[in-house]
């Protein structure tokens, strides 16, 4: 699979983008009855967007003579060689190859100069689009790549398995006081001790868990008793649970109860029931017998069990599953199709349902499996296991970037930047005391109180400093304004401490993004080439693409001149109508406008080539 994030493949992307901009690709074979302007916009935007995700390595050369001047712009030998090598091998180049490419490259440089002269880069739309691409590409410099690689490797390894687990939750807010946090920890440790000493985990979940789904309850609308899951959350794989919980589940041996793990919801105990090779799809057929009390051990299930026994007997006597499903199944959606369900992943069914299915061999049927709605007799049709290949890992990488665990990579970078930029917190302690003392008690329930304007806040020393920047209590107050109206679950002190760290990280990463052009030559080169690509798009749109589309008189006149190329062989209608060949005619008209415009550019930006330097390229 083509990896857009690979530096090795970035050259191919740059190759396409630069050639596209330089050569102004022919569209007559690609466009039929399509709006050319939309195609050009989407294609170039797509390629620049992809290009912004890659990175290239540019080697500066100290002894670098000027190859040519284009107008007032100097082009060095190394610049030309670098551009050529994106498209072809220099070692195999002939003089004719180089001169042909030189013409294209010269046209490209003239167009960029003309776009600059017309100040197309000052348009708000251009600045917004360029900033967007810069921001996209900057993201790979605003993480700790070593941590990101470790996270991806960990995620790929976990993706090879599904885990079935149960849990017990003792709730405690993220920003709870140390006293409340410690109390929750002691409580869950006591529960764990009871389990280790013999208490069944599912019974402990019913007795103690703050996850209300563990217990039976009465539906307030239907007044029916609903069965709890007794802590069993079924099968799941990577990126389907919050990261700390997932980590504990994957690191705890099957049959064992974990130590407490802290998440945003509180403390959990995790009991790992099973760990199996990851399943992409399960193909299962079922015969369903409705019984809302199937999970209630106190209810007599004699009638349901007699039906299930008859079903199993018929199947053992050779009656087809399809026929039995049609006769007995109460699942209206599947009974007339042999009980076959849509394929599903393990996380879409209860744990006991999945375990019963995967323990079968294809064609076997299970014992009746109880659920909250009834009894299921399952027939395994097939299992498709997850394949962890390059394409799958690429998908994982995209999902990982959207998951909360990706913050670890940014946090690691921030810690490194603190060292690099001599981060200090001299005024933080005093400012925190000031804020806690002077913040209104109802600050988080109103949107009318401005912390940054509290009397005396402007006199406080900066809370922290790094590089040539200082962050003040007023700055922090403005940042906190985004949380007005938030329901605070813990203490103000804990909340302020947590958000101060986020505030610092946000500002340091923003500062680092302003340093990328200086710190990373490869970033600067990519951003500059994206700039040139956007400029080429804007100027070509103005002078060629849009001009051809809008000049209806010119295109219709050209059609009359070349309509013999569209002969039909029909004596009544000897030529295809203009409406049928409009896209082709416009493409040809674009070629004409392009040639006229380039000729004008050569007059405006004279080219002076140093033949001696040019010929020296061939010697390489």
Q: What would the two tokens of residue 407 be?
A: 């913050």
- Mean pLDDT across the stretch 95-99? 93
- Mean pLDDT across the stretch 98-124? 95
Identify the pLDDT of residue 13. 40
Identify the pLDDT of residue 63. 78
Angstrom distance (rounded) from CA 228 to CA 213? 5
Q: What would the two tokens of residue 309 be?
A: 């026994």
- Residue boundaries of the structural domains of the chain: 7-117+520-618, 160-277, 279-385, 421-512
Q: What is the pLDDT of residues 552-591, one digit of tens each?
A: 999 999 999 999 999 998 888 999 999 999 999 999 999 9
Is 430 in contact with 473 (CB distance < 8 Å)? no
- Mean pLDDT across the stretch 310-332? 95
Give the model's confidence band at 619: pLDDT under 50 very low, under 70 low, under 90 confident, else very high.
Answer: confident
Identify the pLDDT of residue 261. 97
Q: Is 416 helix (H, G, I), strand (E, B) or coil?
A: helix
The more confident residue out of 514 and 55 is: 514
- Does residue 12 register a pLDDT over 50? no
**Residue percentage of the chain with pLDDT more than 90:** 74
Q: Is 155 helix (H, G, I), strand (E, B) or coil?
A: helix
Helix (H) or strand (E) holding 378: strand 374-385
What's the Cα-to-Cα distance from 440 to each of 175, 451, 497, rounded to whole Å? 18, 9, 17
- Non-local (6+) Cβ contacts of 480 within 8 A are 451, 496, 499
- Does residue 476 register a pLDDT over 90? yes
Q: What is the pLDDT of residues 371-417, one digit of tens each?
A: 999 999 999 999 999 999 999 999 999 999 899 999 999 999 999 99
- Does residue 464 register a pLDDT over 80? yes
Q: Where are the alpha helices (DSSP H) in 139-287?
A: 145-158, 178-196, 201-208, 243-251
Pairing relation of β-strands 374-385 and 469-471?
A: unpaired
Angstrom distance (rounded) from CA 242 to CA 189? 21
Identify the pLDDT of residue 108. 94
Burial class (CB within 10 angstroms; exposed 0-12, middle 13-18, buried 19+) of 493:
middle
The more confident residue out of 156 and 293 is: 156
Prediction pTM value? 0.74
- Does residue 212 register a pLDDT over 50? yes
Angstrom distance (rounded) from CA 219 to CA 225? 6
Identify the pLDDT of residue 441. 65
Q: Is the fold of 7-117+520-618 the same as that of 160-277?
A: no
What does the angle CA 438 – CA 440 – CA 441 come to, to the nearest 5 degrees?
120
Sign of CA dihedral 314, 341, 396, 173: negative
Class of domain 279-385: alpha beta
Identify the pLDDT of residue 221. 83
Q: What is the pLDDT of residues 45-80, one digit of tens each?
A: 444 433 433 333 333 344 799 999 999 999 999 999
User: Where are the extended beta strands (E) located within 205-364?
Assistant: 217-218, 225-226, 232-236, 261-263, 266-277, 279-290
Q: What would the two tokens of residue 196 be?
A: 């280790």
Q: By mean pLDDT, which of 244-253, 335-344, 426-435, 441-450 is the weakest?
A: 441-450
Identify the pLDDT of residue 301. 86
Give the model's confidence band at 11: pLDDT under 50 very low, under 70 low, under 90 confident, else very high.
Answer: very low
Identify the pLDDT of residue 24. 40
Mean pLDDT of the chain: 88
Fold of 7-117+520-618: Triger factor/SurA peptide-binding fold (1.10.4030)
Give the model's confidence band at 366: pLDDT under 50 very low, under 70 low, under 90 confident, else very high.
Answer: very high
What's the Cα-to-Cα distance from 161 to each of 80, 175, 279, 280, 385, rounded to whole Å? 51, 33, 8, 10, 10
Identify the pLDDT of residue 218. 82
Cα–Cα nearest to 252, from 204, 192, 327? 192
Identify the pLDDT of residue 485. 76
Identify the pLDDT of residue 448. 66
Fold of 160-277: Chitinase A; domain 3 (3.10.50)
């Amino acid at each position: 699979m083509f990896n857009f994030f690979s530096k090795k493949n970035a050259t191919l992307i740059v190759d396409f983008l630069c050639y596209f901009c330089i050569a102004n690709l022919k569209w007559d074979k690609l466009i039929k009855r399509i709006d050319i302007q939309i195609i050009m916009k989407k294609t170039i935007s797509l390629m620049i967007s992809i290009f912004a995700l890659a990175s290239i390595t540019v080697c500066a050369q100290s002894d670098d003579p000027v190859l040519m001047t284009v107008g007032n712009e100097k082009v060095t030998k190394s610049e030309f060689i670098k551009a050529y090598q994106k498209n072809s091998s220099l070692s195999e180049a002939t003089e004719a190859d180089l001169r042909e490419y030189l013409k294209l490259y010269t046209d490209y440089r003239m167009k960029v100069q003309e776009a600059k002269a017309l100040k197309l880069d000052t348009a708000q739309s251009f600045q917004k689009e360029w900033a967007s691409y810069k921001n996209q590409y900057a993201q790979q410099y605003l993480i700790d790549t070593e941590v990101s690689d470790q996270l991806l490797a960990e995620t790929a390894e976990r993706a090879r398995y599904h885990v079935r687990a149960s849990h017990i939750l003792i709730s405690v807010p993220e920003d709870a006081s140390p006293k409340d946090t410690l109390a929750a920890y002691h409580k869950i440790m006591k529960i764990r001790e009871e389990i280790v000493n013999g208490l069944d985990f599912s019974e402990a979940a019913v007795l103690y868990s703050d996850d209300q789904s563990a217990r039976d309850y009465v539906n307030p609308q239907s007044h029916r008793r609903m069965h709890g899951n007794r802590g069993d959350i079924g099968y799941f794989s990577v990126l389907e649970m919050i990261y700390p919980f997932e980590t504990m589940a994957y690191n705890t041996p099957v049959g064992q109860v974990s130590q407490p793990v802290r998440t945003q919801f509180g403390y959990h105990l995790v009991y790992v029931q099973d760990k199996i090779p990851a399943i992409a799809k399960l193909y299962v057929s079922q015969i369903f017998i409705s019984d809302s009390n199937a999970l209630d051990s106190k209810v007599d299930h004699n009638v349901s069990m007699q039906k299930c026994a008859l079903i199993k007997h018929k199947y053992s006597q050779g009656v087809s599953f399809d026929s039995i499903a049609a006769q007995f199944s109460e699942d209206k959606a599947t009974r007339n199709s042999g009980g076959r369900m849509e394929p599903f992943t393990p996380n879409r069914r209860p744990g006991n349902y999945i375990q019963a299915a995967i323990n079968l061999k294809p064609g076997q049927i299970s014992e009746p499996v109880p659920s909250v709605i009834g009894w299921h007799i399952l027939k395994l049709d097939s299992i498709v296991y997850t394949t962890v290949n390059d394409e799958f890992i690429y998908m994982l990488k995209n999902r990982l970037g959207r998951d909360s665990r990706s913050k670890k990579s940014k946090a690691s970078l921030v810690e490194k930047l603190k060292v690099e930029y001599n981060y200090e917190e001299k005024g933080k302690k005093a400012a925190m005391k000031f804020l806690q003392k002077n913040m209104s008690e109802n600050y988080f329930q109103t949107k009318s109180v401005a912390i940054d304007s509290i009397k005396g806040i402007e006199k406080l020393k900066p809370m922290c400093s790094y590089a040539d920047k200082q962050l003040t209590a007023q700055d922090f107050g403005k940042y906190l304004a985004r949380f007005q109206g938030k329901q605070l679950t813990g203490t103000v002190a804990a909340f302020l401490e947590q958000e101060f760290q986020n505030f610092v990280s946000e500002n340091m990463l923003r500062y680092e993004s302003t340093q990328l052009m200086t710190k990373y030559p490869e970033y600067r080169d990519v951003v500059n080439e994206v700039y040139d690509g956007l400029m080429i798009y804007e100027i070509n749109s103005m002078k060629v693409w849009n001009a051809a589309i809008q000049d209806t008189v010119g295109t219709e006149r050209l059609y009359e001149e070349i309509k013999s190329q569209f002969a039909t062989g029909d004596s009544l209608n000897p030529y295809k109508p203009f409406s049928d060949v409009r896209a082709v005619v416009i493409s040809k008209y674009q070629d004409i406008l392009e040639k006229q415009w380039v000729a004008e550019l050569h007059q405006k930006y004279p080219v002076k080539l140093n033949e001696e330097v040019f010929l020296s390229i061939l010697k390489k």
